[in-house]
Amino acid sequence: MPRVEINFDGIIGPSHNYAGLSHGNLAATRNQGAVSQPRAAALQGIAKMRANLALGLTQGVLLPHARPDHRWLDSLATDYAEAAPHLQAQALSASAMWAANAATVSPAPDTADGRCHLTVANLVTMPHRSHEWPETLAQLRLAFAHDAFRVHGPVPAPFGDEGAANHMRLAPEHDAPGVEIFVYGVSGGPFPARQHREASMAVARRHGLDPERTLFVEQSEEAIAAGAFHNDVVAVANANVLFAHELAFADKDSFYADLRHLMPRVEIVEVPAAEVSLADAISSYLFNAQLVTLPGGETGLILPTEARNTPSVWSWLQRHVAGNGPIRHLEVVDVRESMANGGGPACLRLRVVADPATIDPRFLVDSAKLDRIAAVIEAHWPAAIAQDQIGDPALIAHIAAARAALLDALGFDPANLSG
């Protein structure tokens, strides 16, 4: 079977809560202390995957991590019962659900050895995410154990790497050689720039990318300061289409010129700030959408309901489609629980171009498997978590039992996922 793009969505874990841990993520900060709904959140994620399957896309999953992370707490010489509340919250975070931060992926057509390379993201900037990578790496090594892949450990600290959320790829077809674009930050005003240029360059070297077809582009300080903590909040790419906000990049003119030189047929769809402000783009997650190639060859955009509910955004999209722009199909999905914690449709998925036959089938899903996953979620995920519950031993036992039920249903041994 030819290589295709597979979207691996993170299953939203049973510990999903609103602790407001992500400095610079405006939605997460705004909703700090709110009551979360893990069961509804996970079922919204399943519904998004069903919508992808209905569009004819190939779909996979990544699994919730063990929470709380007792090994991380042990490294801090404490345990969950005795840990300070901020450490409890950081150990309990379900943020691994945002699979766009799992790794950076370079498909086989772009690499020197003709294999698909994945480098797990170190996520060192935020304490609650810095301990994700060992378990993510264990999952990636299971899913992509075939010789068609090379899975790499993280770039060392202090060089922050946040994975595919700061990486874009353009290619005439998924299985053709492409141009890989690494977006990094230098300054974010009051907020940290999470992706370091040094980390991006290290990943490109590890993956054996052609320097002549690899671009390193600075994200604008204005975008980061406005709440675009990752590039995928203000730009996304697919096939020969780059979809970006006017204020996404520090030097867009040089970037666009370099891109047109490497890929003369590129279509750059830029949304003017005069029509959609940065604030509207970020609150609606217009660009944190899945830009995909549909089976008929047209380009589709999978958007959160917040985009439809933002007048400036929806008006621009309607004009674009009516004007015969390259984006021809709009699909709206409800991921409001993820959105309230600062992650849209694109945050929830990791794109991998590969032959599905080379992937551990436990990580691939069809409608029947999604039914099984949904049944486990319905039976075992907590309905709600209030912030004053996170120290409750009964809740912690509930979360552990829920994840164990999912792993059992999908045929995974927890010992192989611990990293």
Average confidence score pLDDT of the chain: 96
pLDDT value of position 1: 65
Any bridge partners for residue 44, and if so which?
none
Euclidean distance between CA atoms 3 and 238, whole angstroms: 15
Euclidean distance between CA atoms 223 and 288, whole angstroms: 14
* 347 in catalytic set: yes
For residue 216, pLDDT beyond 90: yes
For residue 254, pLDDT beyond 80: yes
Phi, psi of 346 (to 5 degrees): -75, -30
- Active-site annotation holder among 174, 320, 347, 398: 347
Euclidean distance between CA atoms 114 and 68, whole angstroms: 39
Q: Tell me the average pLDDT across 111-134.
A: 97
pLDDT tens digits, one per residue of 276-288: 999 999 999 999 9
Euclidean distance between CA atoms 217 and 197, whole angstroms: 9
Euclidean distance between CA atoms 220 and 188, whole angstroms: 8
pLDDT tens digits, one per residue of 64-120: 999 999 999 999 999 999 999 999 999 999 999 999 999 999 999 999 999 999 999
Grade residue 393 by pLDDT with cuts at 50, 70 and 90. very high
Domain of 347, in residue numbers: 4-417
Q: Express as a percent the part of the chain with pLDDT over 90.
A: 93
Lowest mean pLDDT among 26-40, 195-209, 229-243, 324-338: 26-40
- The closest alpha carbon to 114, from 163, 151, 147, 144, belongs to 147
Q: How many domains does the chain have?
A: 1
Cα–Cα–Cα angle for 138, 144, 146, rounded to 5 degrees: 125
CATH number for the domain spanning 48: value is: 3.75.10.20
* Angle formed by the axes of helices 367-380 and 38-54, nearest 10°: 170
pLDDT value of position 110: 98
Give the C-alpha distances (Å, rounded to integers) separating 295 from 26, 40, 174, 287, 304.
35, 30, 12, 22, 21
pLDDT value of position 297: 95
Euclidean distance between CA atoms 371 and 374, whole angstroms: 5
pLDDT value of position 178: 98
**With a threshold of 0.95, does the pTM exceed it?**
yes
- Active-site annotation holder among 132, 135, 162, 180: 162
Grade residue 20 by pLDDT with cuts at 50, 70 and 90. confident
- Active-site annotation holder among 16, 65, 207, 230: 230
Sign of the dihedral defined by the CA atoms of residues 137, 139, 142, 148, in that order: negative
Residue 208's contacts (CB-CB under 8 Å, 6 or more residues apart) are: 111, 112, 113, 117
Length in residues, the chain: 419
For residue 147, pLDDT beyond 90: yes
Tokens 């912690």: give the residue.
396
DSSP 3-state of 226:
coil
* 230 in catalytic set: yes
Give the C-alpha distances (Å, rounded to integers) separating 275 from 219, 228, 300, 312, 314.
20, 18, 21, 7, 11
pLDDT value of position 134: 98
Euclidean distance between CA atoms 13 and 132, whole angstroms: 13
